[in-house]
Amino acid sequence: MKVRKAVILVAGFGTRFLPVTKAVPKMMLPVLDTPVLHLAVNEAVSAGIEQVIFVVSEMQESVESYFSYDTKLKKVVSKPGNEAVLEKIDSIPSVEARYVYQREQLGVGHAVLMAKEAVGDEPFTLFFPDDVIWDEIPTIGRMIEIFEEKRMPILAAKEVPNEMVSSLGIIEHSVEEGRLYQVTNLVEKPSLVDAPSNLAVIGRYVLTPEIFDALERTDPGVLGEIQLTDAIRRLLNSQSVYSYQFPGYHIDTGTPVGLLKASIHAALQKDDLAADLRKWLEGQF
């Protein structure tokens, strides 16, 4: 079956970004001028995804209003000479959207489980939108292609420095072809001494519906939370799981400094901003 759906995790309080996240969902914070969530939806849509399932928590109405068609705003700006403004509005990806609620914050595994009914009995993609990846070809599209051949779960992966290991899911693997590895074990947020490698899971997955059963049987793990990593490790008893070392440029925008780096990276790609910003960064105000 074709991979048609994306589950995108939006729930969470974004406490690292207080005070702004008291009123604005974390995933609506911008990389330069574009919400983090927009970038994830755009990646999904560019890879041919037809339906997005947002897992949201209370107070996230702005997510729904962002992705709904706004005739009023378009009317106001639809004047000759305003083409560039209109283009910005039209850049918001349009896709069939569903919203499911995570009412208690019991961990990322629990958040994924909330999408069980909406996904149904088919393979799907999963995004942690604060992992932003720049690539000519959408990373998730590359992963769907691999899935179409293997029909087994595919996790995005990246080599990370030692100091990052204890805050990510870490992969033990055997060598496979090129950028693809067969996963032999997975550990969520291990201490550096217990980590089987420096290869970390980054927030893009292609999963099969068996993950929901595995999640239902997964007890709280690290941080007392239901961890997706633990459920994927459970799958290893009955199926192969692959990790794909994607070639794109990745920034974790889940911290203020990460979000700032992402904005600077995005601005440096823009002809109208790059020269001025570069000068300033070099200390020539």
Interface positions with ligand G1P (CB under 6 A)? 108, 128, 131, 168-169, 188, 200-203, 227-229
Q: E strands of 39-189, at which residues?
A: 51-56, 96-101, 124-127, 131-134, 154-159, 169-174, 180-188
- Which amino acid would we find at residue 183? V
- Residue 206's beta-bridge partner residues? 125, 154
- Residue 124's beta-bridge partner residues? 5, 207
DSSP codes of every residue in 65-80 = HHHS--HHHHHHH-ST
Which residue lies nearer to ligand G1P by CB, 47 or 170? 170
Shortest separation between residue 214's beta carbon and ligand G1P, angstroms: 14
Which residue lies nearer to ligand G1P by CB, 53 or 195? 195
* Residues 44/140, Cβ–Cβ less than 8 Å: yes
Which residue lies nearer to ligand G1P by CB, 60 or 227? 227
Position of minimal CB gap to ligand G1P? 169
Shortest separation between residue 78's beta carbon and ligand G1P, angstroms: 40
Query: Where is 31: in which H helix or E strand?
Result: strand 30-31
Which residue lies nearer to ligand G1P by CB, 128 or 147? 128
- Which amino acid would we find at residue 145? E
Which residue lies nearer to ligand G1P by CB, 116 or 189? 189
Q: How far is residue 10's CA from residue 26's CA, in Å, rounded to a whole number?
A: 8
| Structural tokens at position 172 | 């033990």
Shortest separation between residue 270's beta carbon and ligand G1P, angstroms: 26
Shortest separation between residue 157's beta carbon and ligand G1P, angstroms: 9
Shortest separation between residue 200's beta carbon and ligand G1P, angstroms: 5
Q: How far is residue 262's CA from residue 138's CA, in Å, rounded to a whole number?
A: 17
What is the DSSP pairing of strand 124-127 with strand 51-56?
unpaired
Shortest separation between residue 225's beta carbon and ligand G1P, angstroms: 9
Which residue lies nearer to ligand G1P by CB, 2 or 16? 16
Query: Where is 42: in which H helix or E strand?
Result: helix 36-46
Q: How far is residue 240's CA from residue 182's CA, in Å, rounded to a whole number?
A: 7
